[in-house]
Structure 1
Amino acid sequence: MKLKMLLGCLPVLFFFSTLFAQQHDMKGWQLLDPAKDSFYGISLNNTYQFLASKKPKQVVVAVIDSGVDTTHEDLKNVLWHNPKEIPGNGKDDDGNGYVDDVYGWNFLGNENGENLSKDVDERTRVYYRFKNQFSGKSIDEDTMNELEKEQYNTWLKAASEIQSGGNDQTELMYMNMMLKLMHKNDKKLQDEMQKKVYSIDDVEQFAPKSTEGKQAKFALLTLAKLAELDNSMTNTEIINELDDEIESKQQSVDAKTTAPPNYRAQIIGDDYYNINDRYYGNSDVMAGDPMHGTHVSGIIAAQRDNNIGMQGVANDVKIMMIRAVPQGDEYDKDIALAIKYAVDNGAKVINMSFGKGYSPEKQWVDEAVRYAESKDVLIVHAAGNEAEDIDSTDNYPNSDLKAFHTTATNFITVGASSDKHIGSGNIIASFSNYGAGEVNVFAPGVKIYSTLPGGNRYGFLQGTSMAAPVVAGVAALIRSYFPDLSAQQVKYAIEKSVVQLPDSVLVQEPGTNKTVPVKDLCSSGGFLNAYAAVQLAATLKPETPAQNKQDTPKIKLQNNITNK
């Protein structure tokens, strides 16, 4: 959601109403065909018609995320089950170090069943981790080794950003005003509608009798329009989102003067700076708030043949859930171990819909990505939602394997596309990160309808987090129908088959008023098309073992114990 982008528009909520045009039915638009349906979707029906004579092979897709609702009607039949694990017996039946890992693993918990749900951003963690070591000290970089120099420069960047956040307090004030206004209007609408929980669509259909009720309706619909909220969102969901934004902003304000609690040490209790201390967590992949991971999983593989809910991109796929992303920034150690868990347990595609601007233990993640590369596993990563050029702005994880002085060949970074029928009509999502070097392809990521926690709930979310699983679904589809192709060949098929616009057709560069050709925003210069990708995949010959060989990482996992 983009509620935090409304701060400059807050007065509008007090003084203006808005008219809402009849919307197209956006459910599943990402699967449609540009020529037939006039939507910039991925042409999935054509894809399955092309593949009709072929027999697929089941593929495991690991989703490293916030968790998944294992009871959901559209997901329960497509979830991976560890074939060597006996559910609920409290034993590590397969000997992999993880007890009862039936659906995957939760790296954000402990053996007592306690789980980490929220944490602070990595910038704050970096700032306070090294503050006593560097703040107010006379530093001679010539006497430092490479690791110490990198840590010092990272700390300087974090300190500068934290201390320069001069608008945080003002933004927090406006956000609290917005929340107060929302509560006031919510109470009035609840009273007049005689409903405790209602959707934006309910408010659109409601005809208030009082002047106060009409004002409350106009204010809520104006908020929904400006934030591009979906009509299925409820009053409680909007308020919860505002609460989360305010909590995050309050943390940014507090970080200037106060070190945050060490939530990880309180709950998880691992030796964080020891990468070899890896057998922590628990098997509860539904812990915390699994909304994000549930939505992502549905985009990839929601059951296609049950005539309920929605359809995922790929059939013959099993989703392995690895919970490693709290609300707040993920930890490098958890991500590195999650990638390794996915590889060791048979995943052929890994979806990673998360990211951050700091990665103090990047070498661990690099080593894990390289390990996945050596085992022929494709990684799909969301580019991020800051409307920034990540060719010049730090964004992690990424394909630059510094520890190996090379670029990962099994790594796809995905930006979010939209459609002329949606919102402002921009083809590139206004929030999407971009980069002619770092972003490989754009895929649908605005108003994406998918599974939500609750057993049988569905709704719209948006972000590059939703675009990445569309690509992961197509990658899984190719690996299912063309199982002899390598991860590098699947990446090639996806990137070389994109739908490109003529150079004369310009799109708006996110975060700016500039219009540019798509090739200036991503390396492939185009948009994901499943039909074209499988057609290209069908022409590729499997690589010989020598061609496909990726050396097993030669760098032994190192612990980062500086200033432990």
Structure 2
Amino acid sequence: MKRALIVSLYFVVILLILSTNQSRWFHPQNTKNTKSQAPLINQAIAFTPTFVNSYRTDPQLFRSWALTETSPLELQKAWSISQGNKRIVVAVIDTGVDYTHSDLKNNIWQNPGEIPNNGKDDDGNGFIDDMMGWNFVANDPYPADEHGHGTHVAGIIGAVRGNGIGISGVCPNVSLMILKYYSPNATGKENLENTIKSFRYAVQNGAHIINYSGGGAEFSKEEREAILEAKQKGIIVVAAAGNERQNADIHAYYPASYDLDNIISVAALTPAKKLVDSSNYGIKRIDVAAPGQNIYSTLPKGQYGYMTGTSQATAFVTGVAALALSTYGTLPSIAIKNILLKNTQPTKSLQGKIKTGGMVNAYAILKQIVAPLEPVGPISTFAQ
């Protein structure tokens, strides 16, 4: 079975048919150019509610329907509670990221144990000069993005807010760890191997949340073990449901379909609050839905554009999870996941399609977290 990646650049549609060995891939439907676990706060952050004119500070924000006042995410209200915290490290496992992009560069993770460009492995983690992550395709410390998918995903999660240009990410104060696993020239086996390496790097180097906007139909014991290691460190993995128009309860899509409770699997929504036609679904295996159609975000070389798919929806949920951890960093990952899923917005079109029958709502989640909380199970490594 062949896999298709459909991309439109500069209003020219390019159809790329990936060979059958490309079993690990991402599928944006449409693009238009226009060391230890990092320490977290030990108590809720005091944040004075204040509404900022986002359209002055981020002049292209209006192009993303998911970020406006009428969005089902209610992000404008959520930002009155929290806009994130740079202590939160989100690993973006993808095609790389344009780490020089003006709307991203101030939110790129900086490895605290590494001295840049000295040719040494200062922190002893096995990687030389890995200041912002790693390129597992080229095996070097420069995870640049030649495709655009990873940069688009990163912008949704954590584009800088209030800098007078572009857009804002869902969690505009965050540290983005860049892990490049994907190459269109690699075999499916190579992409999967690089995925597993990326997961293990994130686990071993301080990530609190892992965003994986890709996947495939093959079960991998080693990949599952890597995500289990993430669970043991209190790390949430937010994974795309996939874009095959299939019931994932019947046709599994990994890693979203692994039976691990630190995974949040995400389907894609249209502005009309319906599943995107291509989105996978499944009442047992898919947890929640988020905006995923015609999403405006960052692209390489300082550009911006639109993409559609569960990749984009996944990034929105990752951003909301980062806001939640920023607000109350001592909660274990399973508690954050439970709060996120229990505070979804019920949506008629999603009933019987996904586990929660609803879409993510950032404001509802943050309101729940800033309310007085009873202890929830053992405190995870987030608090250490």
* Category of TM-score, reference length = shorter chain: 0.7 to 0.9
Corresponding residue number in structure 2 for 1:543: 376
Does residue 248 of structure 2 align to residue 416 of structure 1? no
Corresponding residue number in structure 2 for 1:445: 292
Any idea what SS the aligned residue of 1:331 has? helix
* Alpha-carbon distance in structure 2 between the residues aligned to 1:74 and 1:498: 29
* Alpha-carbon distance in structure 1 between the residues aligned to 2:337 and 2:280: 20
* Alpha-carbon distance in structure 2 between the residues aligned to 1:326 and 1:74: 24
- Deviation >6 Å, runs of 4+: 2-5
- Following superposition, the deviation at residue 67 of structure 1 comes to 0.5
**Structure 2 counterpart of 1:496, from 311, 325, 342:** 342
Any idea what the Cα deviations from partners look like across 1:275-324, whole Å, max 9, x if unmatched?
Answer: xxxxxx2112016x241111100000000120210010003200000001
- Are the equivalent residues in 1 in contact too, given 2:82–2:326 (CA < 8 A)? no
Corresponding residue number in structure 1 for 2:200: 340
Give the strand-richer structure, 1 or 2.
2
- Following superposition, the deviation at residue 57 of structure 1 comes to 6.2
* Alpha-carbon distance in structure 1 between the residues aligned to 2:147 and 2:256: 24
Corresponding residue number in structure 2 for 1:82: 111
Any idea what SS the aligned residue of 1:58 has? strand
Corresponding residue number in structure 2 for 1:49: 80
- Are the equivalent residues in 2 in contact too, given 1:389–1:433 (CA < 8 A)? yes
Corresponding residue number in structure 2 for 1:28: 64
- Following superposition, the deviation at residue 51 of structure 1 comes to 4.1
- Following superposition, the deviation at residue 520 of structure 1 comes to 1.3
- Following superposition, the deviation at residue 543 of structure 1 comes to 2.8
Corresponding residue number in structure 2 for 1:390: 248
* Alpha-carbon distance in structure 1 between the residues aligned to 2:374 and 2:194: 36
Corresponding residue number in structure 1 for 2:314: 468
Indicate the RMSD between aligned Cα atoms, in angstroms: 2.3
Q: Highest Rg: 1 or 2?
A: 1
* Alpha-carbon distance in structure 2 between the residues aligned to 1:466 and 1:408: 22
* Alpha-carbon distance in structure 2 between the residues aligned to 1:468 and 1:544: 26
The two structures have a TM-score, normalised by structure 2, of 0.79
- Are the equivalent residues in 1 in contact too, given 2:244–2:279 (CA < 8 A)? yes
- Are the equivalent residues in 2 in contact too, given 1:333–1:364 (CA < 8 A)? no
Any idea what SS the aligned residue of 2:316 has? helix
Corresponding residue number in structure 2 for 1:298: 155
- Following superposition, the deviation at residue 548 of structure 1 comes to 5.5
Does residue 224 of structure 2 align to residue 366 of structure 1? yes
Identical-pair percentage: 39
Corresponding residue number in structure 2 for 1:432: 279
* Alpha-carbon distance in structure 2 between the residues aligned to 1:26 and 1:32: 6
Any idea what the Cα deviations from partners look like across 1:103-135, whole Å, max 9, x if unmatched?
Answer: 1011111xxxxxxxxxxxxxxxxxxxxxxxxxx
Corresponding residue number in structure 2 for 1:351: 211
Does residue 130 of structure 2 align to residue 101 of structure 1? yes
* Alpha-carbon distance in structure 2 between the residues aligned to 1:370 and 1:436: 23
* Alpha-carbon distance in structure 2 between the residues aligned to 1:46 and 1:443: 17
- Following superposition, the deviation at residue 85 of structure 1 comes to 1.2
**Structure 2 counterpart of 1:285, from 143, 154, 163:** 143
Any idea what SS the aligned residue of 2:268 has? strand
Any idea what the Cα deviations from partners look like across 1:508-560, whole Å, max 9, x if unmatched?
Answer: xxxxxxxxxx1211101001110011122234434343x769xxxxxxxxxxx
Query: Quick check: 410-419 or 321-330, which moved more?
Result: 321-330
- Are the equivalent residues in 1 in contact too, given 2:248–2:257 (CA < 8 A)? no
CA change 1:483–1:65 in 2 (3 A) is: same
Any idea what SS the aligned residue of 2:105 has? coil
- Are the equivalent residues in 1 in contact too, given 2:351–2:358 (CA < 8 A)? yes
CA change 1:50–1:99 in 2 (3 A) is: closer
- Are the equivalent residues in 2 in contact too, given 1:484–1:542 (CA < 8 A)? no
Does residue 169 of structure 2 align to residue 312 of structure 1? yes
- Following superposition, the deviation at residue 56 of structure 1 comes to 4.7
Give the helix-richer structure, 1 or 2.
1
CA change 1:433–1:297 in 2 (3 A) is: same
- Following superposition, the deviation at residue 408 of structure 1 comes to 1.1
**Structure 2 gaps, min length 5:** 1-5, 8-12, 16-60
**Structure 1 counterpart of 2:239, from 381, 396, 401:** 381
Q: How does 1:114-133 map to 2 (within 5 A)?
A: none
* Alpha-carbon distance in structure 2 between the residues aligned to 1:51 and 1:286: 30
CA change 1:460–1:61 in 2 (3 A) is: same
- Following superposition, the deviation at residue 325 of structure 1 comes to 1.7
- Following superposition, the deviation at residue 88 of structure 1 comes to 1.6
- Are the equivalent residues in 2 in contact too, given 1:499–1:526 (CA < 8 A)? yes
Does residue 376 of structure 2 align to residue 530 of structure 1? no
- Are the equivalent residues in 1 in contact too, given 2:240–2:310 (CA < 8 A)? yes
Which amino acid in the other structure matches residue 495 of structure 1? L
* Alpha-carbon distance in structure 1 between the residues aligned to 2:90 and 2:223: 19
* Alpha-carbon distance in structure 2 between the residues aligned to 1:4 and 1:320: 30
Corresponding residue number in structure 2 for 1:205: none
Corresponding residue number in structure 1 for 2:51: none
- Are the equivalent residues in 2 in contact too, given 1:417–1:428 (CA < 8 A)? yes
* Alpha-carbon distance in structure 1 between the residues aligned to 2:176 and 2:256: 23
- Are the equivalent residues in 2 in contact too, given 1:486–1:542 (CA < 8 A)? no
Which amino acid in the other structure matches residue 466 of structure 1? Q
* Alpha-carbon distance in structure 2 between the residues aligned to 1:47 and 1:497: 13
- Following superposition, the deviation at residue 332 of structure 1 comes to 2.8
* Alpha-carbon distance in structure 2 between the residues aligned to 1:26 and 1:460: 13
Any idea what SS the aligned residue of 2:355 has? coil
* Alpha-carbon distance in structure 1 between the residues aligned to 2:380 and 2:121: 34
The two structures have a TM-score, normalised by structure 1, of 0.55
Which amino acid in the other structure matches residue 171 of structure 2? A
